[in-house]
Amino acid sequence: MIDKFRWILRSLLGRLFVLTLVSALLMISVSQGAFARARVLFSLRSEPVEAELPTVEAIPNPFKNPALLPAVPNPSIGYDPPQRTAMADPSNYDRRVLQDVDGNLLTNPLVVVLHETVGTAQSAIYLFQTHHPDDWDQVSYHVIIERDGTVVYIVPIEMRAFGAGNSVFVNANGRVEGVRTNPDFPPSVNNFAYHISLESPPGSWESGPTHRGYTEEQYQSLAWLLARTDIPDDRITTHEAVDRTESRIDPRSFDRQRFLAILHQYPNRRA
């Protein structure tokens, strides 16, 4: 009787072992398949075009030389902001590409797109530092400027941050600029955008279309940051202006004239 019981137990354990082995093998092969698919997706998104287009070096590439000038304190008041780095997870940004999905070569100069965080700067940074394997969840800015004027570097300027999904920039000549880098997404400004976000005042979730705006330090830091570039005033825009979903209104209560007045205090940015 006991022998029979042992035999049953042994055969049950044997089956359990085989079952576990088979399911483990199955899981490994499925996950490898998913990994391979993810790699295909990723390579579609970030395929370097240089290899296919040996002549591309002859095309001026606006991103190899973003014309960053040495940072100088505001010459009027000696303003020099605190700075720190809080790098985003690599899933939330990508390379800037030189060619769109249809094979057109891209030469759009950089455009500054201003945003606000709505929540705290730190909650936005946590979001950008979260790994997002799904394309739809990927989000980032290049820089956040906190309430005290601290400049937080999140994505390097030479990379493509995911700050504005369905978007186009209408330039001073009326030309509509947008780049499709992924066949599954509408064109956007991300490939040539420098996304900078201002930390919103506390409690601005509920404040509707306006709030009490940004601090003097935030305006100073924004001007200090952009005085390091040669991006012209007419290529400094807002998320609201480039958005095509009619859902974005940021940065709310941004005083453009106040900002430009500070920017123009820098000798290289005189209007």
- Residues near Zn ion (CB under 5 A) are 115, 239, 250
Neighbours of 169 (CB within 10 A): 21
* Other Cβ atoms closer than 10 A to 180: 15
Do the beta carbons of residue 251 and residue 116 sit within 8 Å?
A: yes
61-to-65, 66, 99, 127, 210 alpha-carbon distances in Å: 8, 9, 11, 31, 38
- Which 3 state secondary structure label does DSSP give 31? helix
Read off the amino acid at residue 111.
V
> Which of residues 160 and 239 has its CB atom nearest to Zn ion in the complex?
239
CB of 63 to Zn ion, least distance (A): 21
Q: How far apart are CA 37 and CA 85, in angstroms?
A: 33
- The 8-class DSSP code of residue 97 comes to P
Q: Quick count: other Cβ atoms within 10 Å of Cβ 193?
A: 27
**Helix orientation angle between 256-263 and 216-226, rounded to the nearest 10 degrees:** 50
Q: How far is the CB of 16 from Zn ion (least distance, A)?
A: 54
| In the complex, least distance from residue 251 CB atom to Zn ion, rounded to whole angstroms | 7
Tell me the closest approach of the beta carbon of residue 47 to Zn ion, in angstroms. 27
Residue with smaller CB distance to Zn ion, 114 or 226: 114
Nearer to Zn ion, 115 or 211 (CB): 115
Query: Phi and psi dihedrals of 127, rounded to 5?
Result: -60, -45
State the minimum distance, in angstroms, from the CB of residue 243 to Zn ion: 8
- Decide: helix, strand or coil at residue 198: strand
- Nearest distance, CB of residue 83 and Zn ion, angstroms: 22
d(CA 271, CA 269): 6
Alpha-carbon separation of residue 54 from 74, 97, 192 (angstroms):
43, 15, 22
- The least distance separating Zn ion from the CB of residue 240, rounded to whole angstroms, comes to 8
Q: Cα separation of 83 and 265, whole Å?
A: 21
Which one, 94 or 250, has the nearer CB to Zn ion? Answer: 250
Closer to Zn ion at the Cβ: 98 or 164? Answer: 164
Pick 195 or 228: Cβ nearer Zn ion: 195
Q: Which is nearer to Zn ion, 151 or 196 (CB)?
A: 196
